[in-house]
Amino acid sequence: MAEKTEESAGTQPGEDLGRIGVSIKEGVVRSLKGINEIEVEIATVVRNTVSSTLRMTGDAAKESMTVTGEVMRGAISATEEVGTGLIMSTKSVAKGIIMGVGDVGGDVVSVAGHTVREAVKDASAVGADVSLVARRAVEGVIEATGEMGGSVQETAKVAVGGAIEAAGAIGATALKAVREMLVGVVEGVKEVAGAALPKTPPGKK
């Protein structure tokens, strides 16, 4: 015991602070790496779930919308239960959905719009920031489309349209927030959003 006391007594405060600083830095780096790993894992789990479920149904074209809607609702319910991570996980969930549908030859473009609509609608239901959720969902859809070699511009247009449609159904404030949040997500998104806006009647609450 005495030896430990002497060792402790010989430790300088500056040395302790230095070690704490290094420890914090290492912890932050590990956490950031962990976030990336978690996002990849979420996308993989969702992709596998969607593709395997659609394969079991035997009709990807017919069941894609139902399956993707259920997956998004389940993911948002899960993150709400945990209490954190909704904004972070939305991109990974959306990406996994699109890739899972693509794996079985489903209509990725149509599913992109449906996925984003569901994300915004479900986020609103749990009181989350619909504009941030919309942005993350659109980013996930676009990223997946790019990785699969699809038309990013076409998918972006449909995804943004889905976000705006869902936000418009929530109210004017949500519509404005979502539209502003999506500007700059992808090159040309202003034109995409502008083209999608007429779908929502002016003044719709």
40-90 pLDDT per residue, tens: 888 888 898 888 888 887 776 678 888 888 888 888 777 666 555 667 788
Higher pLDDT, 33 or 132: 132
Residue appearing with tokens 């945990």: 82
Which of 72, 106, 113 lies closest to 196 in space, CA to CA? 113
Q: 6-10, 44-48, 108-112: which range is least confident on average?
A: 6-10
Which positions ≥6 away from 35 have C-beta within 8 Å?
Answer: 88
What is the model's pLDDT at position 189?
A: 47
What is the model's pLDDT at position 6?
A: 44
- Is 50 exceeded by the pLDDT of residue 199? no
Encoded tokens for 128: 């989350």
Tell me how far apart the alpha carbons of residues 196 and 192 are, in angstroms, rounded to a whole number.
6
What percentage of the chain carries pLDDT values higher than 70?
69
What is the model's pLDDT at position 198?
A: 44
Entry pTM: 0.75
The overall longest dimension of the chain from CA atoms, in Å, is: 80
- Is 90 exceeded by the pLDDT of residue 167? yes
What is the model's pLDDT at position 127?
A: 85
Domain parsing of the chain, residue ranges: 13-199
Higher pLDDT, 24 or 177: 177
What is the model's pLDDT at position 39?
A: 82
- Is 90 exceeded by the pLDDT of residue 195? no
- What is the phi-psi region of residue 96: left when phi exceeds 0, alpha when psi lies from -120 to 50, beta otherwise? alpha
- Is 70 exceeded by the pLDDT of residue 182? yes
